[in-house]
């Protein structure tokens, strides 16, 4: 028998012992219930995660606290390593998450040298950059408004000196730094008081270059990457950003999302205007909209690049998380091949003459300079007409939902039968992570949101997330702590084999009476999985799910009472059945975590058996079973006496939830 999860057992409140706040408020209970049901049935039921879990981790092994609040952090982790570095205020924290041992933390103090700061806050050294460099790490920080770098080897920091462009003057600036071999690119301004217009620069390696001040309007940089193409001279830098929409029409969105391209081999131009500027800049709009429902998602939040397993750069998948003005989100997937094609073939917006030769944006071999005419055309018409659209025949988002997603990483994995899945980990503005599985080929692709994880001891915004495919962990940090979350989190699925398979989690399966990770069981013992949510799950040793244990309660006639059934699966419809009639039904998207049946005035006919049943596709199981007994004799009265106090407090506890549910709608 599977007992109900602790803390979720139902309890009732006999009328006599409970004051009736509802009666006092003058709103009839039935009306409230009706409103409640109507309100609860709205929303976007199955786009949300099926199961929600607070993840405790192994004591001592998976969470470490900074010991104080770190409002600005930067996280560095190298896949396969057990170390995680976090840069904070005048400090670098080094965490060790070695397997089978308790996690440990060391700190290296890197205080500001001397600076030109004004107040106390300002005089700190906010670490904003951590990057692998040889044996150690390159560490850069604001250093009291005198951006500087250090090398960190064996827990000892050595000052390298002032480094403009590697760290901003204050911690919350819009900064992006990209390393590629000996080259460094940055969006950080070099001068504190002039040069306020953000630029994308090459600050180390070949000749220093920057973008013209007219090619972007108030950009917010999101991500930059180098793409090695078939010919070295064709290597590109792509960067993703948002900018103000030049279209000031009140109907038009305030922001537009973009991808820009630059040739890595760009040497700048020959004329005085073009000499230290990028000569190969072009930008294109990234579209993420669903034409059928007329939903547009214009604000790019994050980008993750998933390389092709066969090393074809054109097939690199570019996952973009977007939001709309209501903070709903969509994920759109692009390919680098499509982005490259748009830049190679599109005409330029607002330019109606013949394009010069070589065309703007073309990379030239042998470090040839771009002719001035080509530069001038590109510089005055930096946007291409064609827009970058999502892959797939319909060019629509992979999915959209009412959650406000902020960051994304994607893991390509193989289930026990060898089938490939892309698993998305999305952070929400509530400090949780959603695990969303994308399966199948594009045309028949299925997207299924399987789990919401609360990764911290203390709920807080997720500041950074790093995926380690080798160790199969996610590393996340808030302002308080760092957590190591396993990708194969299988212990959160309850209800035996059926609960395990219905989770549709490609990392988990049923083996020897347990829901286990596919990585934990030997190859000779394949685990049972049933990942496709479009098909009924099958193969459990016992084809019928177990029945819920019977729970009994004795009640006086005319009592007021309620039964509560925890809605573990947010994709299922929960119903309270009594005799042959359904007394209460809670659809997916229900606001409360429980499906509650209120009995206002217990009559003769209402005694008996109550079943809470969950229906999800073709899967039906019994979640709760209660028997309401007639209260008679002394035997039950002392039991009930004890239950009453608790019951009363629970009854009062449910009201705020109910009211809240009504208010938010």
Ligand X SMILES: *[C@@H]1O[C@H](CO)[C@@H](O)[C@H](O)[C@H]1NC(C)=O
Between 29 and 620, CB nearer to ligand X: 29
Strand ranges (E), 491-649? 508-511, 514-517, 550-555, 561-566, 573-578, 581-586, 594-599, 608-616, 619-630
Does residue 62 bind ligand X (CB under 6 A)?
Answer: no
Binding mask 67-96 for ligand X (x = CB under 6 A): ------------------------------
What's the closest the beta carbon of residue 586 comes to ligand X, in angstroms?
A: 25
Q: Which of residues 181-220 bind ligand X (CB under 6 A)?
A: 218, 220
What's the closest the beta carbon of residue 174 comes to ligand X, in angstroms?
A: 9
Among 82, 255, 445, 657, binds ligand X (CB under 6 A): 255
Does residue 254 bind ligand X (CB under 6 A)?
Answer: yes
Does residue 394 bind ligand X (CB under 6 A)?
Answer: no
324 to 154, 353, 403, 404, 641: CA distances (angstroms): 46, 36, 11, 9, 54
What's the closest the beta carbon of residue 151 comes to ligand X, in angstroms?
A: 9
Does residue 173 bind ligand X (CB under 6 A)?
Answer: no
**C-alpha angle 152-156-160 in degrees, rounded to nearest 5:** 55
Does residue 383 bind ligand X (CB under 6 A)?
Answer: no
Binding mask 308-337 for ligand X (x = CB under 6 A): ------------------xx----------
Q: Which of residues 399-428 bind ligand X (CB under 6 A)?
A: 404
Does residue 386 bind ligand X (CB under 6 A)?
Answer: no
Does residue 338 bind ligand X (CB under 6 A)?
Answer: no
* Cβ proximity of 548 and 624 under 8 Å: yes
* Cβ proximity of 385 and 347 under 8 Å: yes
Q: Compute the chain's Rg from CA coordinates.
A: 29
Task: Tell me the number of residues near ligand X by CB under 6 A.
Answer: 18
Among 102, 116, 214, 368, binds ligand X (CB under 6 A): 102
Between 520 and 601, CB nearer to ligand X: 601
Between 492 and 556, CB nearer to ligand X: 556
What's the closest the beta carbon of residue 424 comes to ligand X, in angstroms?
A: 20
Does residue 104 bind ligand X (CB under 6 A)?
Answer: no
Tell me how far apart the alpha carbons of residues 288 and 318 are, in angstroms, rounded to a whole number: 12
What's the closest the beta carbon of residue 245 comes to ligand X, in angstroms?
A: 8
Q: Which of residues 619-638 bind ligand X (CB under 6 A)?
A: none
Tell me how far apart the alpha carbons of residues 255 and 296 are, in angstroms, rounded to a whole number: 12
Between 153 and 232, CB nearer to ligand X: 153
CA dihedral 369, 374, 380, 386 (to 10 degrees): -110
Among 520, 558, 637, 649, binds ligand X (CB under 6 A): 558
Among 236, 242, 283, 400, binds ligand X (CB under 6 A): 242
Half-sphere exposure of 621 (CA within 13 A, CB side): 25
Does residue 429 bind ligand X (CB under 6 A)?
Answer: yes
What's the closest the beta carbon of residue 302 comes to ligand X, in angstroms?
A: 13
Angle of helix 29-40 versus helix 634-663 axis, rounded to 10: 50
* DSSP assignment of 413-432: EE-TTS-EEEEEEEEETTS-
Among 154, 249, 272, 294, binds ligand X (CB under 6 A): 154
* Cβ proximity of 130 and 137 under 8 Å: yes
Does residue 605 bind ligand X (CB under 6 A)?
Answer: no
Tell me how far apart the alpha carbons of residues 475 and 619 are, in angstroms, rounded to a whole number: 35
CA dihedral 268, 270, 273, 274 (to 10 degrees): -20
Between 243 and 488, CB nearer to ligand X: 243
8-state DSSP, 169: S
Burial label for 302, CB within 10 Å (0-12, 13-18, 19+), is buried
Between 101 and 344, CB nearer to ligand X: 101
Q: Which range binds ligand X by CB under 6 A, 37-45, 202-210, 237-245, 490-498?
A: 237-245
| Nearest CA-CA partner of 126 in 68, 171, 158 | 171
**Minimal CB distance residue for ligand X:** 60
Among 16, 31, 153, 232, binds ligand X (CB under 6 A): 153
Q: Which range binds ligand X by CB under 6 A, 226-234, 239-247, 393-401, 618-626?
A: 239-247
Q: Which range binds ligand X by CB under 6 A, 242-250, 345-353, 489-497, 587-595?
A: 242-250
Tell me how far apart the alpha carbons of residues 152 and 565 are, in angstroms, rounded to a whole number: 54
Question: Six-digit token pair at 121?
Answer: 């806050």
Q: What are phi and psi of 313, to 5 degrees?
A: -60, -30
Query: Would you tell me which residues interact with ligand X (CB under 6 A)?
Result: 59-60, 102, 153-154, 218, 220, 242-244, 254-255, 326-327, 404, 429, 558, 601
């Amino acid at each position: 028998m599977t007992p109900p999860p602790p803390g979720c057992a139902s309890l009732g409140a006999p009328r006599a012992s409970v004051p009736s706040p509802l009666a006092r408020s003058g709103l009839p209970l039935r009306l409230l219930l009706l409103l409640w049901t109507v309100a609860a049935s709205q929303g976007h039921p199955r786009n949300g995660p099926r199961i929600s879990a607070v993840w405790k981790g192994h004591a001592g092994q998976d969470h470490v606290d900074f010991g104080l609040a770190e409002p600005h952090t930067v996280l560095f982790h190298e896949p396969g390593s057990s170390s995680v570095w976090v840069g904070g205020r005048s400090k670098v924290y080094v965490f060790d998450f070695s397997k089978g041992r308790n996690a440990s933390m060391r700190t290296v103090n890197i205080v500001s040298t001397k600076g030109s700061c004004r107040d106390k806050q300002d005089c700190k050294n906010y670490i904003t950059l951590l990057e692998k460099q040889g044996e150690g790490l390159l560490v850069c920080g604001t250093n009291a408004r005198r951006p500087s770098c250090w090398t960190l080897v064996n827990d000892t920091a050595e000052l390298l000196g002032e480094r403009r462009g590697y760290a901003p003057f204050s911690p919350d600036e819009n900064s992006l730094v990209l390393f590629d071999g000996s080259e460094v690119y940055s969006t950080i301004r070099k001068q504190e008081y002039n040069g306020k217009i953000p630029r994308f620069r090459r600050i180390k390696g070949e000749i220093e270059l920057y973008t013209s001040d007219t090619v972007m309007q108030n950009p917010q940089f999101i991500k930059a990457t180098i793409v090695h193409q078939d010919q070295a001279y064709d290597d590109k830098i792509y960067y993703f950003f948002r900018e103000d929409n030049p279209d000031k029409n009140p109907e038009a969105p305030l922001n537009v999302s973009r991808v820009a391209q630059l040739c890595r081999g760009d040497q700048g131009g020959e004329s005085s205007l073009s000499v230290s500027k990028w000569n190969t800049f072009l930008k294109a709009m990234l579209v993420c909209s669903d034409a059928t429902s007329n939903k547009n998602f214009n604000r790019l939040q994050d980008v993750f690049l998933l390389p092709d397993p066969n090393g074809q750069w054109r097939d690199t998948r570019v996952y973009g998380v977007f939001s709309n003005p209501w903070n709903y989100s969509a994920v759109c997937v692009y390919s680098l091949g499509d982005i490259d094609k748009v830049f190679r073939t599109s005409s330029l917006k607002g330019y109606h003459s013949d394009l010069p030769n070589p065309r703007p944006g073309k990379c030239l071999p042998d470090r040839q300079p771009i002719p001035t005419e080509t530069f001038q055309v590109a510089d005055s018409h930096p946007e291409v007409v064609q827009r970058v659209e999502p892959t797939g025949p319909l060019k629509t988002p992979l999915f959209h939902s009412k959650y406000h997603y902020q960051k994304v990483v994607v893991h390509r994995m193989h289930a026990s039968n060898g089938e490939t899945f892309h698993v998305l980990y999305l952070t929400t503005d509530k400090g949780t992570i959603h695990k969303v599985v994308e399966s199948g080929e594009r045309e028949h692709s299925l997207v299924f949101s399987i789990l919401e994880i609360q990764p911290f001891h203390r709920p807080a915004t997720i500041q950074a997330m790093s995926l380690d495919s080798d160790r199969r962990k996610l590393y996340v940090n808030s302002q308080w702590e760092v957590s190591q979350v396993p990708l194969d989190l299988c212990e959160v699925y309850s209800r035996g084999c059926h609960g395990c398979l219905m989770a549709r989690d490609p990392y988990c399966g049923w083996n020897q009476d347990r829901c286990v990770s596919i990585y934990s069981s030997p190859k000779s013992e394949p685990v049972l999985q049933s990942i496709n949510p479009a098909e009924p799950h099958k193969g459990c040793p016992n084809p019928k799910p177990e029945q819920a244990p019977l729970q009994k309660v004795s009640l006086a006639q005319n009592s007021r009472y309620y039964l509560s059934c925890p809605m573990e699966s947010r994709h299922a419809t929960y119903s309270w059945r009594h005799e042959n009639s359904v007394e209460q039904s809670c659809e997916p998207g229900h606001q409360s975590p429980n499906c509650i049946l209120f009995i206002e005035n217990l009559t003769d006919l209402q005694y008996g058996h109550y079943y809470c049943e969950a229906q999800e596709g073709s899967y039906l199981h019994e979640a709760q079973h209660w028997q309401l007994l007639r209260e008679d004799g002394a035997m039950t009265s002392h039991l009930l006496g004890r239950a009453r106090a608790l019951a009363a407090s629970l009854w009062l506890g449910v009201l705020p939830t109910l009211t809240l549910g009504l208010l938010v709608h």
